Structure 1
């Protein structure tokens, strides 16, 4: 469309597209500067939206190019945003409704990497109009690009104070957006089942004018997740400086925060746990987090999962355990999860992580263990002490001959346990696997991994999900690399499903499927059908808008007599769910750096392998 405009005979001396084709660099720069100055003053130029769209594309692809920032693009964009906010008749004329969105997006793109550009933007007065967008003067779509731009400006030392002039309002708005944006996008867009009742310019912005309902929903999910993540990024900028912690650390928001999920829709964002970890670096933040059992439990579940952000959950718990003022507020909850990770060698670029966890748990074990009231926790710490201190000391001088002798004994007991299992005496098998684990030297990590995993399968059959999760986690810590043992992943996924922990179950199932893909030597990848069914189940349960849909359903049922039936209250259509699964699986970051198989290949498979 732009090319058509550019090819037509043009008599407008201020035509941006003609000026961009000017071969003389000095004339071209002068013309561009003049355009940026004059464009916001022209009321009825229908070409504005095409120019803004072109500038958006340039800013997205060349955000570090200094030409436009040096010629006044920030003044121009700020003027357009102000015009859209203050002149509603202009905003709703022609296609001008698109202009504030493009203008704010251009500001955000050019301030993304360069502090010099950010300073120019602040001097051009972009903050007040961006604040108006953030307050919701137009819609959630403009809030998305406004909070992105403000977050970039807040991330630089040299522009932070200009942002901090609005600190209390910014933090309050950021918290509100992060907590409510998913509900907002669902109610006002995704849940509107009549396409004719959706905002047309939202539909066109989401899909660039190409694509139907399915693509609109997919993009709306991405954008809603980005709105939440960028709101959290803005809050991070204040939390890093220990500013406004009294607002950010409100218990209700912390609870919401612990449930905000990054990683799949926005694969590079840790979402809620990223901000929680920042808060854990401050004494005030640690105190507030230690007072919420729900936040602590969410951190514990994350620390014992195969989520990309597992290490952040561990970091948070370690920071809380190392602080004398919070240690005994969290130790009884954290211990029962962290004891399963004490043999973890490394996780990503973190080495000796199990040793760090052990030291944190046993920090004052001998001197002050009486402060722990729970006998279960005392027993768990005693077992950790025996495993990591006493047993290691005993085995340190063990000869190779003795190690081999214990290996043979372990294998004999394991075979006996396997035999009992196949005879159906699962409880006897548990006892034998336990005996084998006691006999097996700590250095035989692979053998112990198999024993833990087999015992986990027994607990699974005994309908004991907690024991299954414990043993599967211990097996996964012994695997190399961590979280790579397929059978343990699948067993833990089932156990998490039994406990209703859909997100953790989904993560393990995805990693299990990834292992199946990587282990296949032939060209045709075969995925167990039972795993495909688990993925389908958990994707529905963890859908980004699942809570929003539930709230909308309850609201609809409560007001059924007066409702105009705008909102979708049935479960997701199969096709939409498949597309969501495909998108999320493609974005799931995995250790090998490869992407997961398209979900449609999974659901077509009917191959089911034995996993014991």
Structure 2
């Protein structure tokens, strides 16, 4: 058979793959997979690296899965775990990572490949890696592969044989992996003390400290998201809910988010929403004040997963057993969203929120003890029921008269603002809003946004968030009114809500680019104050912030004098330039958390995608 002229090995795998005749190639490859795990030579890691590349680029090609690749990968992982002397020879230390990655890549799309993998005995060695028999790097690819297998109805049972252990391990990984990666890799500033094979796998042998840290950040986020993915697979079947719904873990979920690192993964809130589909889950979530507050903050943000926060709150409010546990906190947030039209592929979102909040208000008004909440519900009733009916009967002539009056009062409010009479300006903008018809959406946007600026000057961030949120709900599409985004970003910053502030600031800068830039622009100017805000919030929301505060914070400051700033600068640059993942690497982007069809997997809602990039050449 034809081989590479420079190759002297008649059984060379790469030469076998080049054989054009399937009748020759296929049995040779089968024989190779059966025997190669028994061999001990330096070519093995090169073959595994090549198989990794093939699996990544051609995951739906049935040839290698049909020829015994799963049996070979399973035996190599087992040999790595059970024979330490072999593992440390040559470059065999890389083999478990590549082998588990190959299994995960071939099983991510096709159930028939997943069935073949289970029949080939991959679960046992993958479980060994998941248990931490090697390191977090191998755990990442093991949890990814097991997650794919747990996603299909036909192979879920094989993973569920280890249900209690898998769920506990996944929960622990999701909660602790960021600290683990920081302590064992990112926080180790002396690169000579970092495991060399970790550095090589993260960077593919190229790049320095900066690249290593960026990739470690990405992989840590993926490890967390894939751990949550496995929990999703059990939760959607209402399995192990007693474990998953422990209050301590639900508290941890509040800090888990996909966002900038894994744009198509909702991370913690994705699992929370699945839990909200079950009665046990709703009860546990309603009992967690921190989680309820987290969902409320999410519902009033420009995060891609805003609609999931709203979904969760509505599910809790529609359950009679949890409605009055969350209605007092949820009402004060959801009332700002009643003007929302479409969001996350849903239409009439505001109408749905209004109906849910008012569903039994008149019958059970006395059950609401909080007078502020009761007044808020009365305001919704007056605004969306009584006032709408009255305005519907107003003639066009009367509407135009109101338009003129609203404009006049707004001008008076603006004048009061500019002469420093802030409280008087608030009164004028409030008067204009009470007079302004609900159909005058553009006018109401400006009035709410102007009043929000007044609240900011009076150091009242809660009132500013309320008014900016209402303005952003009126905008079309939602969350696109630039001034309101910037003002809400400042208000969230006052309250110490870094993630929400960062998202709004990014959206604000996107709007600046769209409105002021052209395809010919080479030097887009970004407001300096927005760049300063991003720098600040990037630091506060850095994925390893909590881990850094727990370990070596003082030591890092003393020895590096703020040397971690390059990490923040790199993350900012990645956000601004929309630099995603290194080509050829597997990420959470590979698939939805839950697939569709008869396999009982639900397809995760597609994210709107990463927010449009901000140009790095800011001045």
* TM-score with structure 1 setting the length: 0.94
Structure 1 pair 405/294, CA: closer, same or farther in 2 (3 Å)? same
Partner residue of 2:552? Answer: 553
Shift of 1:568: 7.6
The answer on 1:203 being equivalent to 2:193 is no
Shift of 1:421: 0.5
- Is the 1:225–1:266 contact (alpha carbons within 8 Å) kept by the matching residues of 2? yes
Structure 1 pair 413/326, CA: closer, same or farther in 2 (3 Å)? same
Aligned residue for 1:345, secondary structure, equals coil
The answer on 1:182 being equivalent to 2:178 is yes
Partner residue of 2:449? Answer: 453
Aligned residue for 1:351, secondary structure, equals coil
Structure 1 range deviating more: 542-551 or 579-588? 579-588
Partner residue of 1:366? Answer: 362
- Is the 1:16–1:51 contact (alpha carbons within 8 Å) kept by the matching residues of 2? yes
Shift of 1:20: 1.4
In 1, the alpha carbon distance for the partners of 2:363 and 2:565 equals 58
In 2, the alpha carbon distance for the partners of 1:123 and 1:310 equals 41
Tell me, which stretches of 5 or more residues in structure 2 are unaligned? 581-605
What do residues 222-279 of structure 1 show as CA deviations (whole Å, max 9, x unaligned)?
0000000000001000000000000000000001012101111011100000000000
Structure 1 pair 328/587, CA: closer, same or farther in 2 (3 Å)? farther
- Is the 1:479–1:485 contact (alpha carbons within 8 Å) kept by the matching residues of 2? yes
The answer on 1:231 being equivalent to 2:220 is no
Shift of 1:594: 6.9
Aligned pairs (5 A) from 1:205-354: 205-354=201-350
What do residues 427-477 of structure 1 show as CA deviations (whole Å, max 9, x unaligned)?
000000000001100000000010000000000001100000000000000
Shift of 1:553: 3.0
> Aligned residues, how many?
588
Shift of 1:521: 4.0
The answer on 1:54 being equivalent to 2:50 is yes
Structure 1 pair 379/486, CA: closer, same or farther in 2 (3 Å)? same
Shift of 1:591: 5.7
Structure 1 pair 139/239, CA: closer, same or farther in 2 (3 Å)? same
In 2, the alpha carbon distance for the partners of 1:207 and 1:139 equals 17
Shift of 1:13: 3.4
What do residues 81-104 of structure 1 show as CA deviations (whole Å, max 9, x unaligned)?
000000000001010000000000
The answer on 1:576 being equivalent to 2:575 is no
Shift of 1:45: 1.2
Shift of 1:573: 3.3
In 2, the alpha carbon distance for the partners of 1:595 and 1:80 equals 43
Partner residue of 1:429? Answer: 425
Structure 1 pair 566/37, CA: closer, same or farther in 2 (3 Å)? farther
- Is the 1:258–1:276 contact (alpha carbons within 8 Å) kept by the matching residues of 2? no
In 2, the alpha carbon distance for the partners of 1:123 and 1:299 equals 42
What do residues 182-222 of structure 1 show as CA deviations (whole Å, max 9, x unaligned)?
00000000000100000000000000000100000000000
In 2, the alpha carbon distance for the partners of 1:444 and 1:487 equals 18
Quick one: which of 380, 386, 389 aligns to 2:385? 389
Aligned residue for 2:134, secondary structure, equals coil
Partner residue of 1:479? Answer: 475
Partner residue of 1:83? Answer: 79
Aligned residue for 1:601, secondary structure, equals coil
Aligned residue for 2:551, secondary structure, equals helix
Tell me, which stretches of 5 or more residues in structure 1 are unaligned? 558-564, 606-612
Structure 1 pair 587/446, CA: closer, same or farther in 2 (3 Å)? farther
Q: CA RMSD of the aligned region, Å?
A: 1.7
* TM-score with structure 2 setting the length: 0.93
What do residues 117-170 of structure 1 show as CA deviations (whole Å, max 9, x unaligned)?
000000000000000000000000000000000000000000000110000000
